[in-house]
Amino acid sequence: MPTVTIDGHGVPTLRKMDMDQFDVVVIGGGPGGYVAAIRAAQLGFKVACIDDWKNAKGLPAPGGTCTNVGCIPSKALLQSSEHFDHAQHHFAEHGITASGVTMDVAKMLARKDKVVRQNNDGILYLLKKNKVTFFHGRGSFARGATDGVYQIDVTEPAKISIQGMHIIIATGSVARALPGAAFDEKLVLSNDGALRIGETPKTLGVIGAGVIGLEMGSVWRRLGADVTVLEGLPVFLGVVDEQVAKEALKLFTKQGLKINLGVKVGAIKPGTNNVSVEYTTADGKTENVTFDRLIVSIGRVPNTNGLNADAAGVKLDERGFIAVDGDCKTTAANVWAVGDVVRGPMLAHKAEEEGVAVAERLAGQHPHIDFNCIPWVIYTSPEIAWVGQTEQQLQAAGVAYKAGSFPFMANGRARALGNTDGFVKIIADAKTDKVLGMHAVGPMVSELIAEGVMAMEFGASSEDIARICHAHPTLSEATKEAALAVDKRTLNM
Ligand code: FAD
Ligand code: NAI
């Protein structure tokens, strides 16, 4: 057994370690895990990172859901399908004639796979550069800590047992299936299958009008599929600012997404080449529709499969997430958990921030994450982005606020781009003018939202944003104008 000492940070650590002994063992190599591993190594810890994701050739593919079947491949397909859409519908207004435009789906998927591989390789390089030992396989707790040291067994394809003083669990999440409609990834698709449909389906059903449903629905609609979205709730994007959600619903419907709200989905029956879905509409009609493919995107569940967390004294909460406190500490000493496997938004950047924070806590630092300042983006066209409180949340909490909006229609850059849908809204405290939220739907608002996040992190007022010089002509001027609108003094509207 290795000797436990107290290092310079006042943190218990293993010293004079054998090859299989580590200060920190990270289980999971997604954005939460690999980033935690890198930060811990930067802080001087000896670190191992275990990840089981395999590519088609059975080789390590770190990066987790985000890199392999989430953020990165979905954005690659959104980009390809957007180019296709532009070539078909928007080039002409620029005077460009593009006739006979076709989409080679296989080539598009191969490009997406290449982008994924570049990210996998990049992560392997970063782990190596930071001297993190990578193990390709599944990690599980052998038992609880013995003299403060945990044994983690790694299997498939690796077969080794390693020891760690501090364990960071970052095992992520998996798609939630509908009861009675298991994913076969051929006809009934999770995010995984939705990202590798080999040819554009004529008809595509999507259950759940959430983030995946809208992003993947948009990809396949742009490529020519007739897309029907079945959403259980009576409201569209209930967590989003109402004005933004209303505008987005109008625009997506105009683009051709058939979005049905307040639907109750019944029997789902996969056939040989298609799948039938029975559902009751909001006004009580029973429908039975057949789709070439069906994407089920009704949320994700934490992944603690095979971790043997219980043996180590790591408790789950009532929803199956690993129970953690505000600092990501689990119920077992020196075991931490970050990312999708714990409470909070299932977002890659949230996972990364938690990973970094845990590594820094191990080194005796005092990082802080403000969950109210975590931005959200839906990468549809137009994009939707927000941070902080919505008007509805503030009304419910009885907070007095002022709101200012500015439409892209009045923004010079948006006009030059030919993309004038949507607006930016800034919400500020009625008394102090402190920025409480930013909500936007429109071109590239995924990039604009960073200004709102920074304003909120710095405790800025709307007046601060309004007084900052924004380059002209940029989309970001819409943010400045929205801040001016809070004080009813826009200059360009
Ligand atoms: P994961 O990324 O899930 O990584 C966990 C890793 O641990 C996986 O590789 C898994 O195989 C491995 N693992 C699990 N158990 C073990 C074990 N016992 N031993 C070894 N390895 C194990 N978020 C955004 O912020 N922006 C986006 O644009 C975005 N787009 C998305 C699109 C889709 C289609 C999906 C499905 C998700 C998207 N997300 C997006 C969400 C984002 O992917 C997740 O929030 C993020 O990946 C969570 O990171 P994580 O590190 O917690 O877990
Ligand atoms: P989601 O939570 O975003 O949306 C699920 C939708 O399905 C909700 O609108 C819900 O009301 C609906 N629903 C649930 N059960 C239903 C049922 N039985 N019938 C009909 N509708 C039902 O979940 P989604 O889209 O699966 O994505 C999971 C998570 O992945 C997201 O919440 C997000 O955290 C992450 N993600 C993030 C992205 C981004 O940041 N751009 C992109 C994609 C995913």
At 69-86, the pLDDT tens digits run 999 999 999 999 999 999
Judged by its nearest atom, the ligand closest to the C-alpha of residue 181 is 2
The domain that contains 462 carries what CATH number? 3.30.390.30
Please list the ranges in the chain whose pLDDT falls under 50. Answer: 1-8, 10
Per-residue model confidence (pLDDT) at position 158: 87
Q: What is the CATH number of the domain that holds 55?
A: 3.50.50.60
Distance 118 CA to ligand 2 centre (A): 27
Out of 65, 380, 445, give the residue to mutate to test ligand 1, the one with the largest number of ligand atoms within 8 Å of its CB.
Answer: 65
- Considering the domain architecture, whether residues 196 and 260 belong to the same structural domain is answered as yes
Ligand 1: centre distance to CA 450 (Å): 22
State in Å: Cα 404 to ligand 2 middle: 29
Which residues, at least 6 apart from 425, have a Cβ–Cβ distance to it below 8 Å?
241, 243, 244, 403, 404, 405, 437, 438, 439, 440, 482
Give the number of the ligand closest to the Cα of residue 384: 2
Residue 18 is predicted with a pLDDT of 81
> Is 100 a domain residue?
no
Instruction: Choose one of 79, 211, 289, 341 to mutate for the ligand 2 pocket test, by most ligand atoms within 8 angstroms of C-beta.
Output: 211
Query: Which residues sit opposite 194 in a β-bridge?
Result: none
Together in a domain, 57 and 158:
yes
Does some domain include residue 88? no
471 with 457, same domain?
A: yes
What per-residue confidence (pLDDT) applies to 13?
56
Which residue has the least CA distance to atom 43 on ligand 1?
Answer: 66
**Structural domain harbouring 208:** 188-298
Residue 179 within any structural domain of the chain: no
Helices (H), 398-476: 412-417, 445-457, 462-467
Same domain for 254 and 327, yes or no, is no
pLDDT, residue 345, reads 98
In this structure, the answer to whether residues 243 and 132 fall within a common structural domain is no
Quick check: CB of 350 below 6 Å from ligand 2? no
Q: What's the confidence (pLDDT) of residue 323?
A: 98
* Whether 305 and 293 share a structural domain: no
Q: 168 and 50: one domain?
A: yes
Q: Give residue 15's pLDDT.
A: 56
* Whole-number pLDDT of residue 486: 98
Counted domains in the chain: 3
Instruction: Judge if 57 and 116 occupy the same domain.
Output: yes
Whole-angstrom distance, CA of residue 37 vs CA of residue 315: 23
Q: Does one domain contain both 242 and 349?
A: no
Tokens 């630092």 sit at which residue?
365
Determine if the peptide bond prior to 73 is cis (ω within 30°). no
Smallest CA separation from ligand 2 atom 41, residue = 378
Ligand nearest to the CA of 174: 1
| Three-state SS at 404 | strand
Pocket test for ligand 2, best of 192, 298, 386 (most atoms within 8 A of CB): 298
CB atoms under 10 Å from CB of 178, counted, come to: 16
**Phi, psi for residue 149 in degrees, rounded to 5:** -120, 135
Per-residue pLDDT tens over the stretch 371-424 = 999 999 999 999 999 999 999 999 999 999 999 999 999 999 999 999 999 999
Residue 80 lies inside a defined structural domain of this protein:
no
